[in-house]
Amino acid sequence: MERLWAPWRAVYVTQTKDEDKAECIFCAKLNETRDAENLLLVRRELCFVLMNLFPYNNGHLMVAPIRHVADITELTPNESLALFQLTQEMVELIRRVMGPHGFNIGINLGRVAGAGFPGHFHIHIVPRWDGDTSFMPVVGEVKVISESLEQTYAKLRKGLEAE
């Protein structure tokens, strides 16, 4: 039997799911100045981009409003526009830097809809490549991520600086 080591997943599987006691991961990272360590890629006036700590694929980003709101209906028109414009910019960045064949872009409202952290609205951008699915998720219930988060962050930051 082969073993697939993914020690960074321990943080995810052992964290508390009690949303009432949990600090907002988005707001916490915004309030710090360690953007590279926190994988915070872009800060704007109304929104920001954070890499997903537990990505579905390399380059999995989350675009969120600065203001702590849980639902799409709570966004102002300016926040909505800024979020969508930044989502477009990130798709172009990932396309240029990583060369995916397509994207999944989505919003999960509420835990039942798949939101891992439903308290702070965000948009997921997941780059996809032909052949990026295999027997691993189906048979082994494991997803293989081929590059470290830090490598992907550095690659995307370099792409931002080249603009």
pLDDT tens figures, 39-55 = 999 999 999 999 998 88
Sign of the Cα torsion 7, 12, 13, 14 reads positive
Rounded to whole angstroms, the Cα distance separating 117 from 53 reads 12
Report if residue 135 sits inside a domain.
Answer: yes
Residues with Cβ within 8 Å of residue 145, at least 6 apart in sequence? 6, 55, 57, 58
Q: Structural domain of residue 27, as residue ranges? A: 22-161
For the question of residue 124 being annotated catalytic, the response is no
Residue 111 is predicted with a pLDDT of 86
**pTM given for the model:** 0.80
Rounded to whole angstroms, the Cα distance separating 79 from 86 reads 10
Report if residue 47 sits inside a domain.
Answer: yes
The CATH number covering residue 92 comes to 3.30.428.10
Average pLDDT, integer, range 53-65: 92
For the chain, the domain total comes to 1
Report if residue 11 sits inside a domain.
Answer: no
Report if residue 14 sits inside a domain.
Answer: no
| Catalytic entry in 60, 101, 120, 122 | 122
Report if residue 39 sits inside a domain.
Answer: yes
pLDDT in tens, 107-147: 998 888 888 878 999 999 999 988 766 444 444 455 556 68
